Amino acid sequence: MTNKLSIILTLFLTHLLSCSSTPTDNEGNFINNNTLNIRELSGTINLHPLYVVDEFSGVINSYLFQTLTSIDFSTLELTPLLLSSLPEIDTSLKDTVIYHFKIRNEAKWDNGKKITSNDVVFSIKVNLLPDPGNTNHTEFLKSIVDLKIDFTNNKNFSIYSTMDFHASKYLIGDITILPKYLYDSNNVLSNYSIKFINENFESLKDDTTILKYLTEINDTKFKINPSYILGSGPYKVKEVVNGQYLTLEKKENWWADSLKYNNTELQANAEIIKYHIIPDETTALAALKNRSIDVMRGISPKEFSEMLKVESLTNRLNFVTAPILAHYCLGLNLTHPILKSNVNRRALAHLLDVKKIIDIVAYGYGEQIIGPNSKTDKDNYNFDIQPYRFDLEKAKSILYSEGWEDLDHDGIIEKMIDGINVPFEITYSYNSGNETRKKIGLIFQEDAKKVGIKINLNALEWSNYIDQLKNKNFEMAFIGKISAPIPRNHKNIFHSESITEGANYVGYSNPEVDKLIDLINFSKTKEERAIYNMKFQEIIHKDLPYLYLFAPLERMVINKKFTNYNLSAMRPGFWAPGFKLAE
């Protein structure tokens, strides 16, 4: 009887709770009022600051770790973060630029120890090591020849660089500072100077001490274990459930809480930030409507437009559209037997109806582009280049002139390539759950079919999708590119050196483009950079390593119970820690 009564009472209480207006999340947990619940399309279980490979990882890392300087989310201006002021620049030495830094006196780690120049030295060293998986190993870092610490005050230091790069003032402070006590507790790197690492990069690939250290630092605990993911940022990882959610908790007595600066990235108001990984948009919208989600971005244009018509939603939700520093394109694997031909790529360009895609898929929330440069940077965007015109007959003519014909009358054109009869069949890969990317593929598939080209759609789980790109194991893939409001550096995407070490996933190589990228990066005047940028875009437009689509407008919905969004053109479009409960 007692057990039956207990069961009845439990069911009764469960019924009462289920009828309550108190919102719950997707896991059935009641939501703290100062918990910011954000929907994310796809998630990562790798929170290691040295191995950031996707946008979501980068966003989360910016809440956990900090750089010396940052681009302020609100103003888009370069601002000091861990520094008390922007670095002083000394160009008095020939072939060497000196940057003088001062770390904020208040800055400290979670264990209470002050952040010092020693942490900076370590952070530079670890990023210079020959670690194939490290995404922070940049040309600019390799230009650092020395770092001198002010031994009267270990908060002060100077960096010596041989690279007088036009974006140097942005890059020199864009170094994620890691706690040496956690990531090098045995002082392994203390025996290797910055100069030694740079000069002996190749031999260090076989250095047993370095190899052992890289194995240790690449341990899974640094990627998913909250006890080993500790930076100077305002949040710590509370819980990670792969593929479901990620919860961040505001640190008690965070070092910057007492500061009264206007810097957006020093604002941290939300007690809990919980990311709900919901790939399916229908499921995500249901969570938004039942109040389990407070913020949702990247809403499909159709759903966004439809929700604007619902008064019950507009009464409690703010609907936001804003330009973002991003663009969409289709990456073409240039090692593929069909796609390595520029003529074949040109035919595909004429089969891509970008205007239809913007109208039907993006509901007009986008603007067609011709290349990687942003139209917002008017001095460096080549407005003289016209997009490839959607033209089925033109595509047919190009293909026929190249010997593509439907000889077996199966609806697919074919051609002899290297002695093999090859049908014109391409697989289009994208991340599953993204209806926009799927619809783009369907439109392309339908139009390509009209000239005898078969395009297969391949929806992949996020991690598999990223792996395919990194390993160049794809044929044609949807690629979204984001950028920062600093002078563009095309090296990581387009330079031939970045095929093996960088994000040149399509395998593009053109010596003239390599030269132009270097000229852009080291130009002394903005007028010179503009000239080289114009030529760079002309060549990319002709070579077609990518089929360019459009620059989107971000579509976000935010619960009106929050204020202080700090909306931004930088992804993800807002500074989540800054959210405050409305009065």
CATH T-level assignment (fold) for domain 65-226? Dipeptide-binding Protein; domain 1 (3.90.76)
Q: Is 279 helix (H, G, I), strand (E, B) or coil?
A: coil
Q: Which residues contact 478 (CB under 8 A, 6 or more apart)?
A: 328, 330, 331, 428, 429, 430, 431, 437, 440, 441
**pLDDT tens track, the chain, 583 positions:** 444 433 333 333 333 333 334 455 555 554 557 899 999 987 666 789 998 877 888 899 999 999 999 988 888 889 999 999 999 999 898 889 999 999 999 999 999 999 999 999 999 999 999 987 776 767 778 889 999 999 999 999 999 998 777 778 888 899 999 999 999 999 999 999 999 999 999 999 999 999 999 999 999 899 889 999 999 999 999 998 878 899 999 999 999 998 876 688 999 999 999 999 998 899 999 999 999 999 999 898 889 999 999 999 999 999 998 888 889 999 999 999 999 999 999 999 999 999 999 999 988 889 999 999 988 788 899 999 999 999 999 999 999 999 999 989 999 999 998 888 999 999 999 999 888 899 999 999 999 999 999 999 999 998 899 999 999 999 999 999 888 788 788 998 999 999 988 899 999 999 999 999 999 988 878 899 899 999 999 999 999 999 999 998 889 999 999 999 888 888 888 999 999 999 7
What pLDDT is attached to residue 49? 92
What pLDDT is attached to residue 27? 52
From residue 130, alpha-carbon distances to 164, 204, 221, 292, 583 in Å are 24, 7, 21, 44, 51
Count CB atoms within 10 A of the CB of residue 113: 12
What pLDDT is attached to residue 44? 64
From residue 79, alpha-carbon distances to 83, 263, 544 in Å are 9, 7, 37
What pLDDT is attached to residue 29? 52
What pLDDT is attached to residue 537? 97
Distance CA 234, CA 64 (A): 6
Residue 524 DSSP class = S
Distance CA 32, CA 160 (A): 48
From residue 81, alpha-carbon distances to 33, 70, 452 in Å are 29, 6, 55
Distance CA 253, CA 258 (A): 9
CATH 3.10.105.10: does it fit domain 326-552? yes
How do the domains of the chain map onto residue ranges?
Answer: 35-42+227-323+556-581, 65-226, 326-552
Count CB atoms within 10 A of the CB of residue 46: 16
From residue 372, alpha-carbon distances to 390, 416, 518 in Å are 20, 34, 17
Contact 481, 450 (CB under 8 A): no
Backbone angles phi, psi at 261, to 5 degrees: -90, 160
Contact 180, 119 (CB under 8 A): yes
Q: Looking at the chain, how many residues does it have?
A: 583
Contact 506, 334 (CB under 8 A): yes
172, two tokens: 């020199």
Provide the sign of the torsion angle of the four alpha carbons 38, 42, 45, 47, taken in this order: negative
What's the CATH code, domain 35-42+227-323+556-581? 3.40.190.10
Peptide bond into 49 cis (omega under 30): no
